[in-house]
Structure 1
Amino acid sequence: MPTEVEGTHQIGNISLYTNTWKPDGPPVAKLIFIHGFNDHIHRYYSLFPSLAARGIEVHGFDQRGWGRSVKNPSQRGLTGPTTLVMSDVVSFIKTQLPSPVPLFIMGHSMGGGEVATLASDPKYADLIPSIRGWLLESPLIAIAKGYEPSAITVFLGRIAGKILPHMKMANPLLPENMTRDPEVAKSLREDKLDHDTGTLEGLAGMLDRSAALAEGRARLNKDVKSIWLGHGTKDMGTSYEASKKWFEAQTQVQDKEFKTYEGWYHQLHADLPETRDEFAKDVADWILARIGDEKKVESKL
């Protein structure tokens, strides 16, 4: 049976909460997972245990301003600018390098946008060859059509953000728009670690990252080997159409797969109880097909 190991990752004077899902035996691959907005690493239901059961060791952390990395209310949503967000992600990735087994990076929603941004940032070009593959779940390339903030709201928010970057603003995500499972929606509503709060600086950075991806200003590094993107057609959080357009523009990547989940909502990992195994299998199958060690894989099944 897979086991969980809690820990911390220290960055300066900030201690970030971490958790690892370990296989029963030596791992055949490692996956680093980056969670989404108003989320934390313990909201991914059976996904991580399912991956660990197939030999994939999963490493995750609660990002600055989120989950168990928040030690007092003043830290809620205090993510810092994009430069800090990305350096936190890179710092955590480097805890697993060099890796004795192939290393993969995956992100959901805001975290998916961060992963795509990282894989496109020339500043981190030296990191790219160490990553075997990149996986994006419902990434924030653009907000779903009909749910975008108005242009005037964004404009005024940017002005205010320059004057008061740490000013906080509630940005609630309707639980019933995230998943088709009423029980998951209920747990989202009741989860005290989901505080719905961002700073003007953090929210602007998130929108800037998605705009750079959607407009083609951030393009995947030439050394990206493989990419997988999964998105539901009924996503009310992030745009299925924007993900598909961005994905199709990455013509420099030869090994890539876009997976359409017809009728699924935003949280593919927790959409319906009967679909969770399907999603976990898709992710695991894609990773295991790229590790080049079929005998070890078969021994884990």
Structure 2
Amino acid sequence: MSFHAFFLPIRVSGAVRFLLARCVQLYLAGRRPYGLAAALLLLLPACTTTLPPVPRPPARFADLGQLVPPQKIFVLSDGARLPARVWAPSGPPRALILVLHGFNDSRDAWEGPAPFFTAQGFLVVAPDQRGFGQAPLRGGWAGTERMVADVKEIVHQLQAQYPQLPLYLAGESMGGAVLMLMMAQPDAPHVAGTLLAAPAVWNFGKMAGLPLRVLSSLFPRALVTGRELPVHVVASDNMMALARLYYDPLTIRATRLEALQGLVGMMKQAAIAAPRLHGPVLCLYGDQDQLVPPSAMGAVWRDVPASVRLDLIPGGHHLLLRDRHGDRVMRDMLSWMTHPGTWLPSGGDSAAATWLAAGEGESPLEKQDALLPVLPAALDNLAPP
């Protein structure tokens, strides 16, 4: 088959098709810097502007498709309304945790770990971020600046509503990147602590990000699903958690190229912002993370202030809190919030120090295949039959 056949479903000039096909040829010849280009090219045949329908789970797993209504609505300064789920402890709360979801995910990302924290007396609040879940601009990209401003407004609202409670911030993947950018600002809010679970950080080189910039400029509304990638990405070892992510009506299963480009830009900004983080910070990372490579996280860990606690979770995947052994992550987070001066229960402090001392994460980014961030649609083959 001619490489040009990859591009028949999209109306682009013959010259563009030739240049893009040449990227694939270079990739297959072993020219790894073109990894992102090749991955994008393999996505192009399925590009469309029509969102796929919400899949129905098998009858015996009907709960996986449950739509849980929000318990709270945050009204922001521009009139936007961000729905949120709230999990309250049985007694008076000892502290409050504002938790943020990852890319294409929603407020439901925290329904698994939330009961663990409420059992320890924490009030947990999980909003949909703008562009995701049931928030405005679903499927689009509001822009990094707007998303950071949204979270800052929510923080101020919660501090005004619960002035007596210590406020912690926790973010998974993209949510972690948003928190990093907010907490790196000179006027970062004063909070009790920030917890970053596999934050989406990756300082892509200029050439690695070029193909996506070109495609997102040419076809900003085109949708990709991730199914076409010639790789098998394991985001978690918990099959039921992945199935819930896939069947959840709030999950976005096809991504506009403009949103993907926005995420890549945010990841780079977050990596660059790492040295300027304010306040107490715990950063967790799994050594089996296939979405944020060791080189990307290693670069960030070497740049963060000395006050940032590093926590390496052996065997942990990108969706750390949803892994089968996600309770290790939760216990570390709880210990850090309640007894910040003690060693983490998992031994993650020592594991992180050993990981860095052994030179893990020091290989140049240019030598790694630049894979696209995982899209929930790519997980459909993991759903129960």
Flag the 1:86–1:35 CA change in 2: closer, same or farther, 3 A. same
Alignment-derived partner of residue 108 in structure 2 = 42
- Other-structure match for 2:236: 179
Note the aligned Cα RMSD (angstroms): 2.9
Matched residue SS, 1:67: coil
User: Residues 82-231 of structure 1 correspond to what in structure 2 (within 5 A)?
Assistant: 82-98=144-160, 99-121=163-185, 125-128=186-189, 130-142=190-202, 151=207, 154-159=209-214, 161=216, 167-172=221-226, 177-214=234-271, 216=272, 219-221=275-277, 224-231=278-285
Shift in Å at residue 140 of structure 1?
0.6
Secondary structure in structure 1 of the residue aligned to 2:265: helix
Q: Distance in 1 between matches of 2:206 and 2:145?
A: 26
Q: Normalized against structure 2, the TM-score is what?
A: 0.62
* Residue 80 in structure 1 maps to residue 142 in structure 2: yes
Q: Which residue of 1 aligns with 2:72?
A: 7
Counterparts in 2 of 1:149 and 1:68: CA distance versus 1, 3 Å: farther
**Code of the aligned partner of 1:219:** P
Question: What residue ranges of structure 1 are gaps of 5+ in the alignment?
Answer: 292-301
Distance 1:220 1:149 in 2: 21
CA drift at 1:225? 2.4
Aligned partners of 2:232 and 2:123: how far apart in 1? 29
Distance 2:140 2:191 in 1: 28
Offset, 1:162: 5.1
Distance apart, 1:176 and its partner CA: 5.9
The 3-state SS of whatever aligns with 1:20 is strand
Tell me the matched-pair count: 267
Partner SS state of residue 106, structure 2: coil
Of 236, 247, 254, 2:301 maps to 247
Distance of 1:34 and 1:50 partners within structure 2: 16
1:144-176 deviation per Cα after TM superposition (whole angstroms, max 9, x unaligned): xxxx99957x424424545775x2432538996
Q: Could you tell me which amino acid in structure 2 is paired with residue 39 of structure 1?
A: D
User: Which sections of structure 2, spanning at least 5 residues, go unmatched?
Assistant: 1-68, 342-385
Q: Report if the CA contact (8 A) 1:232-1:240 is conserved.
A: no
1:267 maps to which residue?
Answer: 319
* Higher Rg: 2
Structure with the higher helix share, 1 or 2: 2
Counterpart of 1:277, as a letter, is D
CA contact (8 A) 1:176 1:185 kept: no
Contact 1:64 1:77 in 2 (8 A): no
Q: Contact (CA 8 Å) 1:175, 1:188: kept in 2 or not?
A: no
* Contact 1:22–1:57 (Cα < 8 Å) also in 2: yes
Amino acid at match of 1:126: D
Q: 1:44 to 1:217 in 2, by over 3 A?
A: closer
Q: What is the CA-CA distance between 1:5 and the residue it aligns to? A: 7.2
Give, as a single letter, the amino acid of the residue that structure 2 aligns with 1:220.
R
Supply the distance in 2 between the matched residues of 1:162 and 1:89 (Cα, whole angstroms): 28
Between Structure 1 and Structure 2, the one with more strand by share is 1
Percent of aligned pairs with the same residue?
22
How far apart are 1:138 and its partner, in Å?
0.6
